[in-house]
Structure 1
Amino acid sequence: MSEPSLNTVSFAGHAASSAQFKALYAEGMALVEETATYLDGPGRTASKLLPRLASVLYAAESMRLTTRLMQMASWLLLQRAVNNGEMTRDQVLSEKNKVRLDSFNVDRSAPGWHDLPEGFRDLIERSLRLQNRVALLDREIYRPQDATSFSPDNQNAVKAQLNLLQTAFART
């Protein structure tokens, strides 16, 4: 017996154009602004008072933080363009290849990490959490085959339940 086609709803696609996306967009852009203000003001002052090792780490982490936030802002702007009808999905897919959302980890055990200003470490942590949320949404929207391809040993719980119901109510 062949499996009937199921009509599925892309929750990620709807979430990307919902109030939740608008909140994510606002949070991301606010974090970009907050980080810029910090790095240009209190962060610059605090970095001059750091021990040498922490100062070097601060410089490296501030570049990573800035890069991470710019990559997320780029993704958010592309998604907003799709939502507003300014770009097609295909246009976004070609531009999206330039955006990196998954390669900016932080070594919290690095020498000098605990000497970094608490406000700076907080910005890093918040940017990492936001990066994870954006990367998850990106995978759900633009790589749904990754999210829905399951081996027989690793099925989606809902799909497994639907298969059980089909089997139970199948005509013989």
Structure 2
Amino acid sequence: MSGPNHAELTPKLVDSLYVEAMLLADEARAYFDEAAREDRRDLEPVARVGFSCESLKVTTRLMQVIAWLLTQRAVAAGEISRRQGRAPERRLGEAPGSDEALFPRLPEPAQALIRASEELYDRVSRLDEGVGSPEPQPSPARGLISRLQRSL
């Protein structure tokens, strides 16, 4: 799992990402449930519908991330095995992409939340790819050294 393209998935990293996801989810809920009402009124009808769709996409991304992180916590706590944690149904779920044509017409706070949710989802997606990778093969050189040490 570790290597040039994968961060080490430690409980500390999982906890940090979980806190980030929960804070972002709370921020998104506060904005889309309350503050966005005025922002939504200023949009044309088609953009208003798109705005609502984007809020659902943000929520979906964040819920997928949170569910995956909770699975990783369960693996670290020994509640489920590492193999169970890698099962297809426990992998990071798919999340819809944002409407790039609509994006520039959205209010700045909505744009910031959309981008933050996409960035978090992308980071967790890269970790999920690493978790799903087969265990790294032992180094042939280390195997040879180990055999030499045992023979001495």
Q: TM class by shorter-chain length?
A: 0.7 to 0.9
* Percentage of identical aligned residues: 34
Contact 1:64–1:104 (Cα < 8 Å) also in 2: yes
Alpha-carbon distance in 2 for matches of 1:14, 1:136: 9
Q: Deviations 1:56-98 (Å, cap 9, x if unpaired)?
A: 110111111111111111111111111122222233233415x
Alignment of 1:89-128 (within 5 A): 89-94=82-87, 95-97=89-91, 99-101=92-94, 103-108=95-100, 110=101, 112-128=102-118
Q: Is the 8 A contact 1:57 1:113 kept in 2?
A: no
1:27 aligns with 2:7: no
Q: TM-score, normalised by structure 1?
A: 0.68
Gaps of 5+ in 1: 1-9, 149-158, 163-172
Q: What's the CA shift string for 1:15-42, capped at 9, x where partnerless?
A: 2224233222211121111111111110
Structure 2 residue ranges without an equivalent (≥5): 142-152
Q: For each residue in 1:114-135, what CA deviation from the matched residue of structure 2 results, as whole angstroms up to 9, or x when unmatched?
A: 2211101100001111111000
RMSD of aligned alpha carbons: 2.6
Count of residue correspondences? 135
Structure 2 counterpart of 1:140, from 126, 130, 134:
130
Contact 1:28 1:72 in 2 (8 A): yes
2:81 to 88, 91, 94: 88
